[in-house]
Homo-oligomer: A and B are copies of this chain.
Amino acid sequence: MIKVAILGATGYAGSELVRLLSRHSGVALSLLASHSYAGRPFSEVYPMMRGVCDLTLSEDDIEKAADVADVVFLALPHGFASGLVTDEILSKAVVIDLGADFRLHDVDTYEAWYKVEHRSRSLLAKAVYGLCELHRSQIASSRLIANPGCYTTCSILTLYPLVKAGLVKKEGIIIDAKSGTSGAGRGAKTASLYCEVNESVKAYSIASHRHTPEIEQELSLAAGCPVTLQFTPHLIPMDRGILATCYAHLEPGVGEEEVEDAYKEAYGDERFIRLVDTPPETRFVAGSNYVDIGWKIDKRTGNIVAMGALDNLVKGAAGQAVQNMNIVFGFDEAEGLGLVPGAVV
């Protein structure tokens, strides 16, 4: 039984962690912290958890968290984690950061896209990018894991086999992603109000979304050369789910067989990736840690349209964080994640 602490437990990602971990057979929730709700029971903030998790929330305090827990999850706004994590903290507890601070290997890229100074550059070398299916062995021996973003997990996993196997051109990749509204977080902003989101769709952060360099970093690694791409996120009226529709030009001569082989080789044994032969729908993965990936070759245009769907709060955040924890602590990788997609279909 390992002990777990969560800072930022009352955001959507943090509360999803509580939901998942409350059913994990190998962990005990030791400390839940929330700057906004300190002093109140978690289940008062999230009444769905009455009787499931009634812990009282404490103040966000990483020292205390590292003292009482074997693993500390950080579910904080970007820029916070880099000011909190230290070698001393890491000597006491494994840190799994759901924020962006340790995801980009290149600190200049981080500072350029996030417009803040990185406050613990020296730790970057120790951080592992926690995309489980790509970096499993490094994760297993790490004490600082940068849990990937929601859009990035979806986009990278969808494109990785194509790029890795050299089946598509490195130039001209376009990712058009659609996300449910929980991705915008629980902050009380006018733009997130029901009547502002409902019955509408829009693009946002065009040409400037911070998940772009994260996707490019991982696909460049896979390609063995720099990959620059176009990433456009959209907000759609639903709670959970991301669909990434990815467009790439196939290299000459590449057909169905090569593509299928590449996906099967990359993910044939993966428990959370399902290769599907109809277009993936977010409802088919909602509430679960699955990523559904499908594709279609258009001979007319020479493009491949590859699509990935996941639940932004599970595989796109808390679920992958639990998966990372399972890898580090030697649990079965699916422990606590045996979730059946729960939407009505």
Contacts and interface: CB of A to CB of B under 8 A. Distances in A.
Interface of A: 12, 15, 19, 22-23, 46-52, 172, 174, 176, 178, 180-182, 186, 188-190, 192-204, 206-207, 228-230, 232, 234, 236-241, 243, 245, 247, 249, 274, 276, 278-288, 292, 296-298, 300-301, 303, 305, 307, 309, 313, 338, 340-345
A301 B228 contact: yes
B202 A281 contact: yes
Contacts of A286: 48, 199-200
A279 B345 contact: no
A12 B188 contact: no
B238 A234 contact: no
Given A194-B181, A243-B234, A207 B342 contact: no
A345 B195 contact: yes
B236 A237 contact: yes
Contacts of A343: 48, 199-200, 239
Contacts of A201: 178, 236, 238, 241, 243, 281-282
Contacts of A207: 296-298, 300-301, 305
Nearest to A207: B298
Identical copies of this chain, number: 4
A223 to B, nearest CB: 16
30 contacts: A19-B340, A19-B342, A47-B345, A48-B283, A48-B286, A50-B276, A174-B174, A176-B176, A180-B199, A186-B190, A186-B193, A194-B196, A196-B345, A198-B239, A199-B239, A199-B240, A199-B286, A200-B281, A200-B343, A201-B238, A202-B279, A202-B309, A203-B305, A207-B300, A207-B301, A207-B305, A229-B301, A230-B303, A236-B236, A237-B238
A24 to B, nearest CB: 11
A192 B307 CA distance: 21
A301 B194 contact: no
Nearest to A52: B340
A338 B207 CA distance: 35
